[in-house]
Structures are given as C-alpha cells and as structure tokens.
Structure 1
Amino acid sequence: MTNFFRILAAVGGLAMFIYGMKTLSTGLEKTAGGFMEKVLAKVSGNILTSILFGAIVTAAVQSSTATTVIVIGLVNAGLLKLRGAVGIIMGANIGTTMTAQITRLAGGSGDSNNFSTTVSAVLAIAGILFIMIAKKNKYKTIGEILIGVSILFAGINTMKSNLEPILKGSEAVRSLFGLLQNPVLGILVGIVVTICTQSSAAAVIILQTISSGSGGAVLFASAFPIIMGTNIGTCATPLLSSLKSSKNAKRAALLHFYFNLIGTILFLIVIYTVQATVGWSFWDKEFTQGDIANFHTIFNVIVTAIFIPFAGVLEKLACITVPDKPDEEEDVFSKEDLLDERFLVTPNVAIAQTREAVVQMGIYARKNFEAACMMFDKYDSREIEKINEREELLDRLEDRVGQYLIKLNDCKLNEDEGRMVTTLFHLISEFERIGDYSVNLCETASVLYEEEAHFSERANHELMVVHGAIAEIIGLAIEATKTMDMNVLTEIEPLEEVVDRLVEELKAVHIDRSKNGQCPIEVGIHFLDILTNVERISDHCSNIAIYLISTKKQYETLKKHEYLDELHKHGPETYEKKLKEYSAKYSLETLA
C-alpha cells in the first residue's frame, strides 16, 4: 500500500511537471508577442541560419512541438517557404534538448537537490508576487513563467523522491530495462510516452528521473533506443495539425517526421554495427541523468549535421509524398481549412492563419469584380454562375472566419493580438461588401443583356478607366492586409481620392450626354448605378486602410480626418506625388 501511494505521488509529480512545462511555454510565447513568428517568417534560404533560429526559438519556448506547429502555420499562410522550414525543424530538435540539460540541475542528490528545491521555492514566491501585485499584463506573464519553472522543478523533485525508494535495487525494474535493450521495444516505449505526454522533453526527463532513482538499472543499451523513440513520437502533434492544412503545410509536417525517422534509423545502424564489430565500452554501464541529457543533445546535433547537405532531398521526399494537384483542383482549395482550432493554443499562428483567410476573401472579391466588369463587354452566363459560386464562398468564409475570431478572442491575447483580432473582424465585413457590390455590377450587366441595351463606345472606354482604378485599389487593399506595409497603405487613399474625382466627373459627363440625347435615360441610369457601386468599393478599400493603419500605429480608433493626417505625417510629398501619378494614370483626357 505504501508503494501504491508513492506511485500515486510520482504520477502527481509528473502531472506537476507537465503543467509547469506548459505554463512556462505559454508564458514565453505570450512574452514573445509575435516576435518569434516574425523572426521565423523572415528566415532566409540559408540552412545554417534557419537551424540557428530554430534552435534558439525552441530553447526559448521549451517545446519543439510548438515550434514545428508554428512553422506549419507559417508555411500554410505562405509566410515561410518549405526550404526555410527544413532548417528550422532541424534546429528545433537541437533546441528541445536544452530542457533536459537544464532540468538535470533538479535531479542531483544532497546539496544539488536542496539547491533545486530552494530555487523552486524562491521562483514560486517571486511568481506569486508578480501575479498578485503587478497591474500590467506583461509583468503578470513574467510571474506565470516563474511559477511554471517552479512547478516544473517541484514536479521533478516529487517524482524523484517517490520513485527512488521503489526503484532502487528493484529486480523488476532491471528486468524491464533488460527487455528494453531490444531496440524495437525501446523505440516504441519512447514513442508512446512522448505521445502521451505531448512532449519529447518530458519523456526524456521521465527517463532521467527513473535513472536517478533506480540505482544503476538504466544502462546505455536500454536508454538510447527510448531517447530516439521520443524524437519520432514528437512528430505526432505536428502531423495531426497539418491534416486540414495546405499541401505545403503537410509537407512541412512530413519533413519533421522523415528527418526524425531517417535519423533514428541511421543512428541505430551505426551504433549496432560498431557494437557488433568493435564494441562500445559503455554499452552495459549505468546511464546517469547527465549521460541521458548529453546523449539526447549529441544525437540531435550529429543527425542535424549529417542532414545539412541533404536538406533538398528531404524536401523532395516530402513533395513526392504530397504531390502537386492540377491547377483546377488547387483553385478550389478552400481557405476555411486554414482555420484549424489546434492553432488556437498559439494565438499568433491562429491570427496569421486567419489573416491569410481574409486575404483569400479579398482575392475572391477581386476576381468577382474583374469578372463582373468583363460581363459588360462580353456577357457569359457560365461566368455569371462562377461569380455567384465565389460570392457564396465569400459569404461562407465571412461566417467561418467570424466564428473562428470569436473563439480566438476568448484566448489569452496580448494587446497587439487583441487589436489585430478586432481589425480582422472589420476586414471580413469590408471584403464581403466589396463582393456584394461586384454582384450588383453583375446584375446590372444581366439587365443590360436582357434588354439588349448597350453603352456608347465612349462610355465603355470611360468604364474601362474607372474599372482599372478599382481593380488596382482592391489589389492594394489585399496587399496591405497581407503585409501591413506602410508604403502600400499610404497608396490607397490617394487612389481613392482619384476614384472619387473620376466618378464625379463621369457622372457630370454622362448627365450631359443624356441631356443632349446621346444616351437613352434608361441606359444612363444603369451607368450611374455602376459608378455608385465602384465608388462604394473604393470607400471600403479606404476603410480597410484605416483599420490596418490603426492597428499598425496602435490607435484605439482612427477617424477619417485622423487617417488623412497620418498619411500626411508619413510624408506629404509622397501623398501628393501618388495623387498626381494616379490622376495621370486614370485621366479621362487620355480618351480624348
């Protein structure tokens, strides 16, 4: 019965450890405030740079799984190329070994054990003070990080103190680890424990704790297959996260899996070949906590070094497994798939995914606008059906993205994340309205076709000018949503002003034509309807710029006049220059 309670306490210690690790990881991610994703997204094609960033980020958040899921999200959102993902994933495997190196401090005996207990207590006190006294969220988050580290160390100490009396000198434990010298069994155990704990680092630390308390039962021959199994087990979560993602996101998850699987197989072949021919002097010797941590690090560093020249091979293997689809199938790919609820645990990734879905809404809206404009020149009922299908997709995306943003808003967000979520709420409405006005244009084209009515050649040329301006301003709104680039944002308002002037000029010109009998009144009404719709589309693009600038500049709200002031502050000469450029580009004088 005593052993039963000790085992129960040890399991409680494991729960404390996992919770502490989760609290620490979450706190570090919140503190990063999106910096982590921004850095990863900017990693170049240099494999060594990618590996370095992957290792640093993973060591910072204490989770290779979190890093890999972030990478999948960035690849899925088109913010990171697959080649860049290879190096980051390799680096993540190195970074995750730092956890075992750090926590070995908690696993000693005597003074070392007392030191870790004291550190745990001090961190807990400091963390509680930060949480209770601090008013700003960033300081409360620091408190969460300290509490996480404290609980993590306390969990390790609890596991060790309760397992040691049970494991020390136990023949059953020796027999069990004797069986685990079978590499297949050892690897399977590593995989299963990692999947259950959702962390390869946690699985390695459990092995360290057993080694510390068993009094020499854990040997090199039985420990190293378990360690290698943990590397394969850690692929489970990223693979699951990629199931509903784009083909490149699936490839990124498979890169992670193939890298760990092939690395494990190669290492097994080398280790057992040397053992069979020369023999390892430490094969049957005790594998201590420090040995386990060191082997975990050395194994991942060597495998990464081996694969550096073959990064392209890994990429090709993933591409062969998930081949390209024909263009027509790829065009049907729904951006709803980006909105996987598994990403909600990492708000920055979820926001990046949502933003990509909003960008896709803009792309669909622009396609509908361009297709609607074509209907005035050459009416096609099949194209009308496609426009209506895209409009239905836009409506569905608006609903789906809105629901996802509500769930995202319920997560713990920092100020920047909360501001971006609010902006995305506005943007989905703006792009959906652009789609609605494009459908209105379609309906006007249909009426003209049914009535067998036509605009004059001059009126058609005028519409081509204004349609070109609207297509460009929608493109700028999409690009601004994707990049948040201030240079792009500052181009929208000058073009919107040009559109307003152009519409007013065209209204006046067309009214004169109608008065002079050059255009039937019925047809003239449709012409004015078109101008009203395109002007409103331009206004919605301007609204998008206002929301994005408000977010970028961290304003609570931004009124129209404040928006114009901000543009002039950014560079009045730039605004005037762009105004002149667009005025010349979309001038009716070119039609004279």
Structure 2
Amino acid sequence: MTELRLLVQLAGEAALLLWGLHMVQSGVERAFGGRLQALLGTALGTPWRALLAGLGVTAALQSSTATALMIAGFASAGAVALVPALAAMLGANIGTAMIVQVLSFDAGWLSPLLILLGVIAFRKGRRAQSRDLGRVAIGLGLMLLALHLMVETLAPVQASPALAQVLHAMADQPLPNLVLAAVIAWAAHSSIAAVLFVATLAGGGVLLPDAAVAMVLGANLGSALNPLLQGGGRPGDRARLRLPLGNLVNRVLGCALVLAFLPEVSAWLASLVPTPLRLVATAHLAFNVATSLLALPLLRPLAWALTKLLPERPELDEAAPRYLDPAAAAMPAVAMANARREVLRIADVLERMLDASTRAFAEDARDAAKALATMDDVVDRLHRAVLAYLAGMPGDLLTESDRERIAAIQSFAIALEHAADVLSRDVARHAAKRARRGVTLAEADRRDIAALHAALREELRLAVAVFTESDAEAARRLVQAKEMLRGTESAAARRAAKAAPLPLGEPGATPGLVLDAIRDLRRVGAHLAAVAHPLLERRGELLATRLAPGRAAKEPGGGG
C-alpha cells in the first residue's frame, strides 16, 4: 500500500467518523434539544449540580461544544453565574470522555445492525422523533464502521521498519505530538473525533504510550480553542469570552501538570489497561476527571480573575442584538432560545414606549414624541435582526415542530413591531396635535386614555406569558382585554357624538381627536392579542367568526 493511498484512505475514514458524529449530534438535537436545554437550565444552581448536568447533557448530545453554547446562552442572559457555568463545562468535558470510553470497546459487529435499524426507523417512522432516533442509530453505526476500517487500514503499517524509527522519534517529542493533536481537534471541531482517531492510531501500533497520551492532551486543548475563537454574543464585548477562556485555562493547567510527569503517567496507564486503544480512552477520561476534581475548588477565584480581566462592555447601542449568537445558529434549540430572549428585549422597549405615550397626553408631547421615535427605531432594528437570525438557521436541521416554534417567534416579533409603529406614528401624532392646539382633555377622556395605557401594559405582560409559557389562562384574559378595549372605544364614540362642537379656532377639548387616539391605542391591543389566537384555536376555544349563530348564513338582503 503506497503512502499516498494510505493517507487518502485514512482521511476518508476520518471523514466518515466525523459525518457519523454529526448525524448523532443532529439527531439528538432534533429529538431532545429543547428538553435537554430546559434540563440544563434548571440544574445550574450549584457547582456540583452544574457539573453533573453538563456531563449528562453532553453524553446525550455527543458534543461539549453544543453544551457550551447552551451554557453561554444562559450566562449571557444573566440566568447563571460564572462559577456554575464553569463547573458545567467541566462536566461537559467528562461527558465527551465517557462517550469515547464507550466507543473504544470492540463493537464493530454492531455497526451493520445499527445502520439497518436506523434506516428502517428513518424511512418508516411515522413520528418525527422516531426518524430522529433513526438518524442517531445510523450515525453510531457509521462511527463504529469508520473506527473498524481505520484499524484494518493501519494493520499492515505495524510491520514497517521506517515506522519503528518514527515511533522512537515521536516518543521523545511530546510537545509536537500535543500540538499536532490540538490542530486536529481544532480543525474537526470535536475532541471525540480527535481522540478516537488517536486511539485508532495507538491501536494500530502507530503510537507508543507516551506519544498517545501527549496527543490526548492536545486533543483536549484543541477542542477548547473553538469556543474561544468563535466567541459569540455581542461583538466587542469581552465578557462573552469568560466562559471559554476559563475552560481553556483549566485545560492548559491540566496539560502542563501531566506533561511534567508524562513518562510516569503513561507507565501507570499502561499497567492498568491491556490494549493501546483502551489506554487512549482511559487517559482521556482520567485527564478530564482529575482536571475537574482539581479545578472545582478553584472555580471561585478563577471566576473572580476572569471578571476582572474581562469586564462587561458598557451598553453603547441599545438597538444592537445581545443574544443572537451566530455560532449557535446550527443548533435549533439554542438558536431559538437566543431569538426568544431578543424578542423579550423588544417587549421591554415596547413597555417603555407605552410609558412615553402616557406622558405624551399628560406632559410635553414633543419630548415624548421624540422618545417614542427613538425607541421605535430600536424596535425596528431588533425586529429585523431577529428575523434575519431565524432565516439563517439551516433548514435541514429543522423539524416540523421547530418550524412551528420559529413561526411563533416571528409572529410575536412582528406583532410587537406593528404595535410600536402605531405608538410612534399615530398615537404620538394625536398627542402632538393636542399640544399644538392647546387642547384640554375632559376628565372622562383623561381617565379613558390613562385606563387604556394601563390595560395595554397588562396586555403586554399577558402576551409575554403566552409567548414564553403557552399559558392558556393568559391567552383567554388577553382576548377578554381586547374586548374591553372595544367597549372603551364605543363609550368614547358615544361621548364624541353627543359633544357640542366648539367655535372654529377656539382651544378646548376635541372629542374627535381623543377618539382617534383611543382607536389607535385599541389597534395596539389588537396586535398584542394576536399572539393568543393560535393557542386558543388549537384548544378549540376561539370562534371562527364574531357573527351570532345563524346570521352568517342569511342572505344579504335579509329576505325570507
């Protein structure tokens, strides 16, 4: 076998290993991503709980990078402190090592069975989750097949005289081995794939124990570089680098400690584990467990140092997205959670717009109108950013349920943007007209406008509850509040009809102007109430028409 053919064959088998890993990750993400994220979010309370949660979620997702993105999302939202977040990353590192430990057993005979069962589930499964689990089975089968093929490819290489010379040279140079494995893990974006590749080389007799352990260290180091280089979060905000940098610091210190005693560590592992392939997997697990146990008591001072080194950037541009991390776009559950958090920022801005609108009818309307225009610009930019972020998610990773959730996020963002437009364009215009004409509002009109703004604030809170929790009771109250606004408008219309017109040019109350403002405020309520309709329709609690039963079927002329 020529050297070129050997390299091409190994590269193809490594690519098959990576593709199998991708299928497993995407299958688990599509089937359980949302639930795993919720589980992780509830478990990030104490360092030990966070470590166990990170371990479990990573073992399921087959990717510490995916877990890191979830944890980074919680950290950027302020939902978790840095110490538990760092502990969860330690657990994620152990989780990847456990996956390698399982895959390092000789289970090549399972490969055809897993691929067969996976294809059947993927092609014949009626439920989306069954098809996703079929994808997972196919991916595991491909990974086992790739490992088996690598061992077979490397078998003839063991007898090469040139290899013996290379092995002795590599054994005396642990640092180049470490760097090489770090580059492989960084390029593959996966410590699992890199360590399995090293294990296969060791199992094929290509690596001696010292070189194999050094490459395991490099694979751990390289996989910690990806989250740091990708960054994520707001550009220019160095605080977003605290978590990946802390994880890298733990890895670097662990690598330095093992390198100082590399011959002793390698000899100890070789005495425990009979085969070179299992030695690599055991070294990977032992390194991450030992690093976690040593680092866990030191996380608090490490978090303090990271906070001092990487302070939060002052918020310079309120309209700049905070949570739309491009690195998370390939993970639907994480990306949708990021988009939801950004939409909630839009809701916060809209609540401030309602406060400004209230002031516009009670104080200087010009200052309030300027504030409304500025905040509307913030809403517009955030709205566009959210829609662009959701549109950039890869369609092949989305399930039907994902598409429905994305549609719900888009609908709520659009409803908030429309409501903001009404406030900044129409309601502000009426308030400015009142101030320009020197109009004095009647007591009943002042009460109505104040009550409408209070009702709209409550509607906004209900709409957020429906959006975030799918709260059916909040949805019902939201629709009822919309009807209350309709009643307020009707009462204002009756007062306007009864009011005596003032002489032309005389300052005073203008019922028509107030009625226009009330009608526009009701339009804001209608946009907010729209978020409740899909939920109530699914529950069968919303009528298709407001017409009384039997009226819709009558002829237009009303003849009998």
> TM-score, length-normalised on structure 1?
0.82
What's the CA shift for 1:246? 8.0
2:224 to 235, 243, 251: 235
- Report matched runs for 1:148-227 at 5 Å: 148-172=139-163, 175=166, 178-179=169-170, 181-214=172-205, 217-220=207-210, 222-227=211-216
Matched letter for residue 536 of structure 1: R
Give a deviation string over 1:320-367, Cα, whole Å, max 9, x none: 2331334xx2662522x5334432321111111121222222222222
| Greater Cα offset, 95-104 or 229-238 | 229-238
Q: Tell me if 1:293 matches 2:292.
A: no
* SS of 2:52 mapped into structure 1: helix
Partner residue of 1:547? 534
Return the match for 1:352 from 324, 331, 337: 337
- Distance, in Å, in 2 between the alignment partners of 1:66 and 1:527 is 54
Q: Match for residue 297 of structure 2?
A: 309
Deviation of 1:195 after TM superposition, in Å, equals 0.7
Partner of 1:537: 524
* Pair 1:268–1:291, CA change in 2 (3 A): same
Counterpart amino acid of residue 369 in structure 1 = L
**CA displacement 1:415-470 (0-9 Å, x = unmatched):** 32221112122212211111011111111122222223332355334322221221
How high is the sequence identity, in percent, across the aligned residues? 21
Question: Structure 1 324/125 Cα, relative in aligned 2: closer, same or farther at 3 Å?
Answer: closer
Letter in 2 for 1:460: R
1:61 paired to 2:61: yes
The answer on whether the counterparts of 2:190 and 2:223 sit within 8 Å (CA) in structure 1 is yes
Question: In the alignment, which residue of structure 1 is the partner of 2:400?
Answer: 415
Seen in structure 2, the aligned counterparts of structure 1 residues 549 and 86 have a Cα distance that, compared at 3 Å, is farther
How far did residue 96 of structure 1 move? 0.3
**Cα distance in 2, alignment partners of residues 385 and 167 from structure 1:** 77
Q: Distance in 2 between matches of 1:23 and 1:130?
A: 14
Structure 1 residue 520: Cα displacement = 6.9
**Is 2:311 aligned against 1:323?**
yes
Letter in structure 2 aligned against 1:152: M
After superposition, the CA RMSD in angstroms is 3.2
- Kindly indicate whether residue 484 of structure 2 is the aligned counterpart of residue 493 of structure 1: no
Residues 1:397 and 1:480: Cα distance change in structure 2 (over 3 Å)? same
Answer yes or no: is 1:393 the counterpart of 2:383.
no
Using the TM superposition, name which of 230-239 and 85-94 deviates more: 230-239
Instruction: State the 1:41 CA deviation.
Output: 1.6
Could you tell me which amino acid in structure 2 is paired with residue 419 of structure 1? Answer: E
CA distance in 1, matches of 2:307, 2:118: 46
The 1:481–1:135 alpha-carbon spacing in structure 2 relative to 1, beyond 3 Å, is closer
1:58, distance to aligned residue in structure 2 (A):
0.7
Q: Distance in 2 between matches of 1:496 and 1:484?
A: 18
| Distance in 1 (alpha carbons) for counterparts of 2:349 and 2:48 | 38
* 1:121-159 superposed Cα distances (whole Å, 9 cap, x missing partner): 122222222233334332222221111111111111111
Is 2:415 aligned against 1:430? yes
Q: Which runs of 5+ in 1 are unaligned?
A: 107-115, 565-592
- Deviates further, 260-269 or 342-351: 260-269
Q: List per-residue Cα deviations over 1:563-584 (Å, max 9, x = no partner).
A: 99xxxxxxxxxxxxxxxxxxxx
Whether the aligned pair in 2 keeps the contact of 1:231 and 1:260 (CA below 8 Å) is no
Asked if 1:528 corresponds to 2:519, the answer is no
> Structure 1 residues 544 and 23 mapped into 2: Cα distance closer, same or farther (>3 Å)?
same
Instruction: Give the partner amino acid of 2:542.
Output: K
- The answer to whether the Cα contact below 8 Å between 1:58 and 1:92 also exists between their aligned partners in 2 is yes
- Give the whole-Å Cα distance in 1 for the aligned partners of 2:337 and 2:298: 30
Q: Distance in 1 between matches of 2:416 and 2:500?
A: 34
The answer (yes or no) to whether the contact 1:13–1:157 under 8 Å persists in 2 is no
Q: Are 2:269 and 2:283, in contact at CA under 8 Å, matched by a contact in 1?
A: no
C-alpha contact 1:255 1:314 (8 A) present in aligned 2: no
2:461 to 456, 460, 475: 475
Q: So what's the TM-score if we normalise by structure 2?
A: 0.86
Unpaired runs of at least 5, structure 2: 547-560
Tell me what 2:94 maps to.
Answer: 94
Q: Which amino acid aligns with 2:47?
A: I
- C-alpha change, 1:340 and 1:173, in structure 2 (3 Å) is farther
Which residue does 1:113 correspond to in 2? none
Question: What is the distance in 2 between the residues matched to 1:480 and 1:90?
Answer: 36
1:122 aligned to which of 107, 113, 116: 113
